[in-house]
Amino acid sequence: MLESKQQLEDWSRAIAGIREEIGRVIVGQQEVVEQLLWCLLAGGHALLEGIPGLGKTMLVKTVADTVDLSFSRIQFTPDLMPADITGTNVIQFGAQGDNSYRFQKGPLFGHVILADEINRATPKTQSALLEAMQEKTVTVGSETYRLPSPFFVLATQNPLEQEGTYPLPEAQLDRFLLKIAVSYPTKEELKQIVLRTTLAIVEQAEKIIDGALLTDIQTGLKGVVVAEDTLDYAVQLLMCTHPQESESPAMVKQYVRFGSGPRGVQAMIAVSKIRAFLAGRYHVSKQDIAAVAYPALRHRLMLNFEGQAMDISPDSIIGTIIEHLENSR
């Protein structure tokens, strides 16, 4: 159930304030900012992929600055151990010569976690992060510790330089609500970036909302209505990512090895509700589903050898599926 009209207007103003604060610091990248907001308001994790120097780290830090929550930045490297991010038990020496163990929390115990260059960590460290992302807990020895709420992992990775990296396993990729592609700025945006970053005083975003309000918005927007035919469309779109399905386009059958799992349609519905609300609507349309399908599914499609050899992009496959469903109506 959605809240009162006044409550919804207050939420809209708060979200508009976040956009404005981000815009004071970050030049361009409106689509990336919008998709990050989708993740934040849907309570999911995001993976940002782009070449070095596009401001991915700055963007995540700026988004964190607009929300009054604790922020931790973890630089992932091959020698990073699970205890470096989760924390460890340390010995405490008492005044009487006795000693005891005390758990010292690691940087994962924050609300907004920036996992910088996540694919540089070893699988062992990535598995520790996987537990935090899925279960919102950290296990050290035989003890399990609850992470603070809300909890977001906003990770970055470079698609070009693969030396010394460990590809993220499909199970971990599936835990990211969205995979956001960060594009190169335009000529005018480049000029603005240079002007803003060479000033004596660099702009910094101010706090707009606190954790309690963010949680209220997340809970409230789950009440945005999804009609049954819209849900059917989302399910059909997901099923068409599987090459064994009879209704799948020829491109899927030729280039896709495995399609998206159930989390793909869950992500589309959750994010579509946010997109609809930000557009001033309280119901999800098929256009919302089609728009969010790209970031929600691009990391959930596994190409076969031919698809990889032909350098087929998941986005082109998703676009083909959407066009196929449009033509089959």
pLDDT at 160 (0 to 100): 66
54 and 150 share one domain: yes
48 and 117 share one domain: yes
User: Which of residues 177, 205, 223 is at a domain's end?
Assistant: 223
pLDDT at 2 (0 to 100): 56
pLDDT at 233 (0 to 100): 94
Domain that holds residue 76: 1-223
pLDDT at 304 (0 to 100): 92
Count of domains forming the chain: 2
pLDDT at 266 (0 to 100): 94
**What are 253-277's pLDDT values in tens digits?**
999 999 898 999 999 999 999 999 9
Average pLDDT score over residue span 314-320: 93
**What are 225-235's pLDDT values in tens digits?**
899 999 999 99
pLDDT at 229 (0 to 100): 93
127 and 8 share one domain: yes
pLDDT at 210 (0 to 100): 84
150 and 257 share one domain: no
Q: Of 262, 231, 256, 261, which is closest to residue 320 (Cα–Cα)?
A: 256
* Domain containing residue 292: CATH number: 1.10.8.80
Residue 283 DSSP symbol? B
Average pLDDT, the chain: 85
Confidence of residue 166 (pLDDT cuts 50, 70, 90): confident
pLDDT value at 97 more than 90? no
pLDDT value at 98 more than 80? no
Say if CB 324 and CB 249 are below 8 A apart. Answer: yes
Q: Parallel, antiparallel, or unpaired: how do β-strands 99-105 and 87-93 relate?
A: antiparallel
| Rounded-to-integer distance, Cα 190 and Cα 196, Å | 10
164 and 265 share one domain: no
pLDDT at 323 (0 to 100): 93
Confidence of residue 202 (pLDDT cuts 50, 70, 90): low
User: Which of residues 170, 201, 223 is at a domain's end?
Assistant: 223
pLDDT value at 161 more than 70? no
* Tokens matching residue 69: 């929550």
pLDDT value at 57 more than 90? no
| Rounded-to-integer distance, Cα 185 and Cα 299, Å | 23
| Rounded-to-integer distance, Cα 318 and Cα 326, Å | 12
The residue length of the chain stands at 329
